């Protein structure tokens, strides 16, 4: 990060009302031990810490307000902040809202969202866990729907990703699940496609990240093998978090 990027970064936080930045202490993982990271992280960017120590989801929502910080605000109906248990040990992160999410202001409520719910609850049931969608937390990298459901641009992800960063810091889950390549790349910094990354453990800060397919990809009828792989990924993830 050069001096100009750092200046813009700090201005962004000043704009959010964040008055002070602190360097977070890395806490040793509690038992059971975190899964071994299977893919070494790329060279880390030297960033100042992003969230105040007393941050809450409510405070982040208030800071977002009627956000116009990137051009995605132009076509949105509702900001889609996130939904679920604010103390969830597991957070799912997708790419951005679609049409149904934009209309309702809730992430993963369309067909892909229904499949995600079935996958979470169905896998948990089969593995003997009592887990409902409401027990976890779901958010996206960007909070406003990109036009024509296009992939968010790097600048949009960088700007809005700061809110995701604060959400994750406020929740501090035991693990994160990145749904699809865009979320995976945003969280891990790796540039590979999702087929290479899925089923492996990465890290966001000191939190393990499991990468799997986005449910909208799995809705395509011919994707039989990816469906099986996604169930495998979820099993691995749920056992790590809830065993
Ligand atoms: S996508 Fe994020 S940063 Fe952009 S306008 Fe929406 S809330 Fe603001």
pLDDT (tens digit, 9 = 90+) per residue, 196-221? 999 999 999 999 999 999 999 999 86
Shortest-distance atom of ligand 1 to CA 67: 8
Residue 27, pLDDT score = 44
pLDDT at 125: 97
What's the DSSP call for residue 124?
H
Ligand 1 atom with the smallest distance to the CA of 163 is 2
Cα(74) to centroid(ligand 1), Å: 10
The Cα–Cα gap between 147 and 144 comes to 9
CA-159 nearest atom, ligand 1: 3
- Report pLDDT for 243: 94
pLDDT for 169: 96
DSSP reduced 3-state for 170: helix
| Residue 199 exposed, middle or buried by CB count within 10 Å (0-12, 13-18, 19+) | middle
| Cα separation, 223 vs 199, whole angstroms | 16
SS3 (DSSP) at 110: coil
Supply the DSSP string of 26-90, one letter for each residue.
PPPPPSSPPPPPSSPPPPPP-----S-TT--HHHHHHHHSS--SSGGGGG-SS----EE-TT-SE
At 54 the pLDDT is: 86
Cβ atoms of 99 and 110 closer than 8 Å: yes
Q: Which residues line ligand 1 (CB under 6 A)?
A: 64, 67-70, 72-73, 79, 142-144, 156, 159-160
Number of Cβ within a 10 Å radius of residue 44: 7
> Ligand 1 centre from 52 Cα, in Å?
20
Low-confidence stretches of the chain (pLDDT beneath 70) = 1-34, 40-50, 221
Query: Which atom of ligand 1 has the smallest separation from the CA of 152?
Result: 1
Q: Which pLDDT value is given to residue 135?
A: 98
Q: How many CA atoms lie within 13 A of 148 on its CB side?
A: 1
Predicted local distance difference test score (pLDDT) of residue 196: 96
160 CA to centre of ligand 1 in angstroms: 5
pLDDT in the model for residue 194? 96
């Amino acid at each position: 990060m050069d001096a100009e990027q750092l200046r813009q970064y700090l201005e962004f936080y000043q704009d959010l009302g964040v008055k002070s930045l602190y360097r977070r202490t890395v806490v040793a993982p509690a038992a059971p031990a975190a899964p071994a990271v299977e893919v070494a992280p790329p060279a880390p960017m030297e960033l100042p810490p992003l969230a105040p120590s007393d941050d809450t989801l409510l405070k982040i929502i208030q800071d977002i307000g009627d956000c116009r910080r990137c051009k995605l605000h132009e076509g949105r109906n509702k900001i889609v902040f996130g939904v679920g248990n604010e103390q969830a040990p597991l957070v799912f992160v997708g790419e951005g809202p679609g049409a149904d999410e934009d209309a309702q202001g809730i992430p993963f409520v369309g067909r892909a969202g229904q499949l995600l719910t079935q996958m979470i609850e169905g896998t948990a049931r089969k593995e003997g866990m009592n887990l409902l969608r409401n027990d976890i937390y779901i958010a996206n990298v960007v909070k406003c729907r990109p036009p024509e459901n296009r992939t968010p641009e790097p600048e949009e992800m960088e700007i809005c990703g700061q809110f995701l960063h604060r959400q994750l810091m406020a929740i501090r889950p035991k693990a994160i699940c990145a749904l699809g390549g865009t979320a995976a790349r945003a969280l891990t910094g790796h540039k590979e496609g999702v087929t290479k990354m899925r089923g492996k453990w990465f890290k966001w800060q000191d939190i393990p990240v499991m990468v799997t397919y986005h449910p909208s990809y799995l809705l395509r009828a011919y994707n039989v093998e990816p469906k099986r792989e996604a169930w495998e990924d979820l099993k691995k993830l749920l056992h790590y978090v809830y065993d």
